[in-house]
Structure 1
Amino acid sequence: MQTGYFLIFFVLPIFLEGCCVGNKQKKRTGLQENTTHLHYRAVEGEMFMMPCIKSMKGHMKVAWSRTAEGEGGTEGPSFDCDKVFSAEIKHSGTYTDPSGGSKLFFYLQVVQKERLGCFHPDESWGMLVNGAGGEIPCPGRNCSDNTDVRWYKGNRVVSEQRRASCEQNGLLHLCQVGEPDTGVYFCDRKIIEQGIMWTFRRAVNIRVIPHYKPSYRPRIVVPESNMAEEVELGQSHTLMCKVYFPFEINVSAVVRWYMNYGGNMENMTRLHMEKPQQKTLILEETEVIQSAIIKEVTSQHLNHTYTCIASNTVGNSAVTIKLKKKIKVKWPSLVGYPIVSLLVLAGLGIVLHVKWLELQLIYRSHIHCGKRDREDKEFDVFLSYVWSHPSAEADGCVSLSPQSGPDTDEEACLSSMNPLNTKEGQSTQTPLEVLLPRVLEERWGYHLCLLERDVLPGGAYTNDVVLAIQRSRMLICLLSADYLCNSNAVFVLESGVQALLQNSALKLLLIWTNRASASLIQPNPPLPTLVQKALKVLPSLDWTSGKSARATCNFWRSLRRAMPNCTEKNWFSSDHANDLPVTSIQYIY
């Protein structure tokens, strides 16, 4: 019995395939660091990779550059040692590594295919079955008695990789093949010619396949069998068939569409088809999409059936479908119109709900005038402002004096209604907070309410503001960045907006002294929502300080039109605008 066991363990390795069992890999080191002259030979049209220098610390990446040859020679291309390229005759020459510590010389000779004694193109590629073992022959090994071959995958020696493999008689044996084994392999053989050791490098492109022959018929995934596709009469329609084919080395995948007259499977006609679309999904299967177009669908097409047939070397698969008329859904008028009307009303209701406050302000400030100009009030205008600049009264004062004016109203406006048109006005830019009260009172004769002048100190600020607004026919706010950052000033504006919503007799006007700078600020705390919406829709003017005289003139004209009618001087109305006496504003220092 013991003798039997001994014979089994002795004889069994002999019958095992290849050298994958009980074989110790004879690892070979790459080119040593002290090697300075390398001679390599390649075949024209085959893949090639420059060698990398291996030191004790591992692989060192080398950039080989071809040197100039002869007088007036030009440098050739350069290649990294891990770059795969197709060898050409023009690549022959001497290469060096300029970046290396020691000067390395590399000689490359690319040989024409016709000069080789036995060249077989089929030796430069091969296929291995996934999950099984296989072997890769070195091209030209039958033409030479040199079986000492060193194999590389990329720039790594195969014998140094952690995998079950061995090299024997010029063949590379892989014990088990997987998808990562796909790629380019290089086999190096040593040749001595005229005392020079050449390395003849040949390439083999390996592809890992699941099997050599398909094992099942194609699978049709679209369309489903016995389904009905909806079509529109008079329109074109596309029939699409999506099929999965198993892998084949020599592809025999065929997909066709047929029309069966009256549903008779024996009476079929091939349809005109477009070019099939093909792509590989995974290693095992390929997707093919075949389409056929019916240019114009008629009622006769509804009586026929349509079959998609897919075939390969294993067999055929078929799917048959029908066409049916597409029913257009129409809403009954008694149901559709009320629904549309409700949707429109609901949309209008949402818009009114969101914009209701703005609409009220627009109506009360622009459209609904009422009797605001005929109501008796103690003050004509309540003027609200915040000092944005040092007071002009510190340097001088502004006085108004009558003078005889030009002949036309346009000339009168440009010469007298623009206070900055004078020589003195150009030298001193008077703030609107100083200029406007004097123009309204001294020139236009309005009775102003100023908090610092007409309200007794010691009272509650909120009550004084509300009472002053109630006693005024109009509220004018001089808006600026400082104004919107002042909580007391913002309270005046908010109280005026609330009074406008409650009492249509109040007139409200905004004058922006510097709209650009005011739009850039972020007040803290933020402006009330009522004020934010009011700033968008309330009537407003832009003070044109520093601009042309005509622009300034237009500002004063617009302001005069927006003012309430003066009971004492009814020529301030728009009907008597041209009868306004011409005066001038002079600056006295």
Structure 2
Amino acid sequence: MADHSGKSYQCCGKTQQRTEEDKDAAAKPMFANQHLHYKVVEGEVFVMPCNSLHGGMPWDELHVASPLKWFKAAKGKECGKEFVAEMEDSGAYSSLTGSYLTLQVISKTSLRCFQPSESSVTLPVDCGGKIRCPGRDCYNNTGVVWYKKNKAVSEQSRISCENEGLLHLCRVYELDTGVYYCDRQITDQGVMWTFRRAVNVTVIPHSSSSPVFKYPSANMIEEVEIGQPHTLECEVIFDVEGKNSRKVQWFMNFGGDIQNLTLLHMEQAQEKQVFPRVEVTQKSIIKEVTPQHLTHTYTCFASNAVRNNSVAIKLQKKMQVKWPSLVGYPFACFLLVAGLGIIVHVKWLELQLIFRSHFQFGKLDGEEKQFDIFVSYVWTVPSAEEANGLTLSSKPYTEAGGCKSNMKMQSSEAPIEMLLPQVLEDQWGYRVCLLERDILPGGAYTNDVVLTINSSRMLICVLSAKYFASSNAVFVLESGVKALLQKSAPKMLLIWTGGTSSSFIQPEPPLPKLVQRALKVLPSLQRSTDKSPTAIRSFWTSLQKAMPAHGARLASQEN
């Protein structure tokens, strides 16, 4: 059938008439208007027109001649270059040739209908394919013109049909991959606009091979635990093809009968594109495995346009792993020895302090020293009212260490710093060293402390919040711990007072690491805040048991 120019062309076996109106519709947006108006949807691809700038010069020749641009303010967009339209791209553009273009980017929510699936299409190669103009069911599709880049599809050397927003490519080629544009002419407030929509076209080859199972393999046995959930997973590799032509499904064969198939409930299939192939993963979950599941066979079916394939597996109860005694016992012994070695390495300092504190002092009790007890404390000055009653009754304990039946303290409120030296010296007969009393002034404090500790059979530290806040007192404690780690070690005893304990909050500055670790393991007594006679008696009894024997000094006195 001839058109006005005397030419005719075939479309998919049918003769189509090209009228001058059709040619004008394709050419109008590109040649006639020097002030163009375009509407485009946000997020879709758009390309700035070119041919209208130079009177219809072919795009290939125009691109070689000069990279023409449209300018908005100081920014320019090159014609023929595709970009994703954003709201900020809206505005008026002009070219150096005197042409003008108004671009309006509209949001998706303002459209009468919007389907994201209409923005892309997949076509198989060497077959016919149809491309729908987005919104085809919501707009008047009379006069829709299709473009690829800036060239109308009807002007390309290929056989195609355009009918009310539908582009029919009679044969699809690999080069057809790209973005296609469909233009509608609409009038808005007396202005003629070109409403352009974009469709991404992907051309895929025909499938040439059957599905390939990546997992599981044929006649495979999967181990399961009775009473636990289990996931059946099938991974299949397909050639790239139409999505609707590939399918993966799980079936259960009761009692292993391949004729008695039941479709299992499956999750949404997961697809991963590894061009030119697609990996499809299909899962089916058994919520709780029962002994009956072990009698069935499970089959994964995979199909495409070429053929169907299947693979069957069975389930087996998982066997408990037991190590042979010849391997397990030595390995367990090795782990035990290694664990003990790590513990000893980490806790070596604490172990040394525990050993020297509890097992070494029987050898040192009889050793003659200048002092029996070195008492370290930070004195808290009592009020005048308290000081009036801070005296002791005569000898609350017998020399043999037992309690007198009428033992009684005249003041149970007396601070331990005052009571301790009096009890040790006046009642128990120990030679006590107090820094502020027995060390001559004018010497080096650090040397005096170290010499006094080495000259004493025992160091007692009365710990309190003020004690930890005193750098001199902490130095005495640290020096005692260092001496305890030496061969000629003095005995050490900590007395916690004022509600403090080994979990005492770190003061500022923090205590030395050596002191922090020693506080956890050194022998200690707690000075209870309970002032009852029973609690007081218990404290002094425990203290007397911790004291060293009078040793050599008492033996010499007896002789």
Please classify the TM superposition score into its range, dividing by the shorter chain length: 0.5 to 0.7
Equivalent residue number for residue 344 of structure 2: 352
Q: Is the 8 A contact 1:400 1:443 kept in 2?
A: no
The equivalent position to 1:340 in structure 2, one of 324, 327, 332, is 332
Report the number of matched residues.
438
Alignment of structure 1 residues 42-441 onto 2, 5 Å: 56=92, 82-84=107-109, 87=112, 128-129=121-122, 136=133, 139=136, 147=143, 163-164=149-150, 187=184, 189-190=186-187, 208-211=201-204, 215-217=207-209, 219-223=211-215, 225-226=217-218, 228-231=220-223, 239-245=232-238, 246-248=240-242, 250-251=244-245, 253-255=247-249, 257=251, 269-270=260-261, 273-275=264-266, 277-282=268-273, 285=278, 287-289=280-282, 291=284, 296=291, 308-319=300-311, 330-365=322-357, 370=362, 378-386=370-378, 400-401=390-391, 416-419=411-414, 437=421, 441=425
Aligned to 2:539: 558
Distance 1:243 1:138 in 2: 36
1:492 — aligned with what? 476
Task: Give the Cα separation in 2 of the matches to 1:458 and 1:252.
Answer: 98
Match of 2:48 in 1: none
Q: Would you say the 8 A contact 1:186–1:202 is kept in 2?
A: yes
Alignment TM-score, normalising by the size of structure 2: 0.55
RMSD, aligned α-carbons: 6.3
Whole-angstrom distance in 2 between the partners of 1:204 and 1:555: 95
Instruction: Tell me which residue corresponds to 2:458.
Output: 474
Task: Indicate conservation of the 8 Å contact 2:37/2:193, yes or no.
Answer: no
Q: Which residue of 1 aligns with 2:57?
A: none
After TM superposition, the structure 1 stretch with the greater mean CA deviation from structure 2, 342-351 or 479-488, is: 479-488
8 Å Cα contact 1:241-1:308 kept in structure 2: yes
Encode CA deviations 1:175-197: one digit per residue, 9 max, x unaligned.
98767779xx8956339xxxx96
Alignment-mate amino acid for residue 493 of structure 1: L
- Cα distance in structure 2, aligned partners of 1:137 and 1:486: 83
The runs of 5 or more residues in structure 1 that have no matched partner are 1-13, 32-50, 63-79, 89-120, 152-158, 421-431, 569-589
Query: What amino acid maps onto 2:531 in structure 1?
Result: R
* Structure 2 Cα separation of the partners of residues 538 and 319 of structure 1: 70
Distance 1:489 1:84, change over 3 A: same
**Distance verdict in 2 for CA 1:344–1:372, change over 3 Å:** same
Alignment match, 2:52: none
Amino acid of the structure 2 residue aligned with 1:455: I
Whole-angstrom CA distance in 2 between matches of 1:445 and 1:252: 100
Question: Could you tell me which amino acid in structure 2 is paired with residue 492 of structure 1?
Answer: V
Structure 2 unaligned segments of length 5 or more: list them. 1-17, 40-86, 95-100, 155-161, 170-174, 395-403, 551-559
User: How far does residue 382 in structure 1 lie from its aligned partner after superposition?
Assistant: 0.6
User: CA-to-partner distance for each residue in 1:395-427, whole Å, 9 max, x for gaps?
Assistant: 9966744679xxxx999879722127xxxxxxx
1:509 matched to 2:534: no
Q: Aligned equivalents of 1:463 and 1:509: distance in 2?
A: 22
Deviations 1:277-323 (A, max 9, x none): 3234349847251549785489988xxx9764321333223446688
Greater relative contact order (Cα < 8 A, sep 6+)? 1
The AA in structure 1 aligned to 2:539 is: S
Separation in structure 2 between the aligned mates of residue 60 and residue 417 of structure 1, nearest angstrom: 98
2:37 is aligned to 29
Q: Which residue of 2 aligns with 1:538?
A: 522
Distance in 1 between the 2:93 and 2:405 partners?
A: 95
Cα-to-partner distance string for 1:141-163 (whole Å, 9 max, x where unaligned)? 99797x4x799xxxxxxx9xx94
Post-superposition CA distance 1:80-133 (Å, at most 9, x none): 962516759xxxxxxxxxxxxxxxxxxxxxxxxxxxxxxxx99x9586457999
Which one-letter code corresponds to 1:381 in the other structure? I
Deviation at residue 449 of structure 1 after TM alignment: 0.2
Q: SS where residue 323 of structure 2 aligns? A: coil
Query: What CA deviation, in whole Å up to 9, does each residue of 1:8-42 have, x standing for no partner?
Result: xxxxxx9xx995999558562369xxxxxxxxxxx
Report the Cα distance in structure 2 between the residues aligned to 1:53 and 1:491, rounded to whole angstroms.
75
SS at match of 1:243: strand
Q: Please report how far the alpha carbon of residue 337 of structure 1 lies from its aligned counterpart in structure 2 after TM superposition.
A: 1.9
For 1:542-573, what per-residue CA distance to the aligned partner results, in whole angstroms no more than 9, with x for missing partners?
A: 667xxx663899478525522456999xxxxx
Closer/same/farther in 2, CA of residues 210 and 402 from structure 1, 3 Å limit: same
In 2: Cα distance, 1:227 partner to 1:490 partner: 75
Contact kept, 8 Å, 1:362 with 1:537, in 2: the verdict is yes
Deviates more, 1:496-505 or 1:549-558: 549-558
Shift of 1:535: 1.5
Contact 1:400 1:442 in 2 (8 A): no
The 8 Å contact of residues 37 and 102 in structure 2, kept in 1 or not, is answered as: no
Match of 2:438 among 435, 449, 454: 454
Q: Counterpart of 2:261 in structure 1: which amino acid?
A: R
Distance 1:452 1:316, change over 3 A: same
- TM-score in terms of structure 1 length: 0.53
Change (3 A) 1:337 1:366: same
Q: Report what 1:106 is aligned to.
A: none
CA contact (8 A) 1:480 1:517 kept: no
- Supply the distance in 2 between the matched residues of 1:396 and 1:320 (Cα, whole angstroms): 93
Cα offset, 1:345, TM superposition: 2.6
For the residue of structure 2 that corresponds to 1:242, the secondary structure is strand
1:501-529 alpha-carbon deviations (Å, 9 max, x no partner): 54677242244566688613234xx7253
- Would the alpha carbon gap of residues 21 and 290 (structure 1) be closer, same or farther in structure 2, given more than 3 Å must change? farther
Distance 1:288 1:86, change over 3 A: farther
- SS of 1:275's partner is coil
1:223 is displaced (CA, Å) by 2.2
What CA distance in whole angstroms lies between the structure 2 residues aligned with 1:442 and 1:150?
A: 117
CA distance in 2, matches of 1:235, 1:368: 59
Task: Kindly indicate whether the alpha-carbon contact (under 8 Å) linking 2:184 and 2:195 is maintained by their aligned counterparts in 1.
Answer: yes
SS in structure 2 opposite 1:29? strand
Q: Distance in 2 between matches of 1:507 and 1:125?
A: 86
**Quick one: distance in 1 between partners of 2:405 and 2:167?**
106
1:393 is displaced (CA, Å) by 10
Q: Which residue of 2 aligns with 1:70?
A: none
CA 1:165/1:441 → structure 2, altered by over 3 Å: closer, same or farther? farther
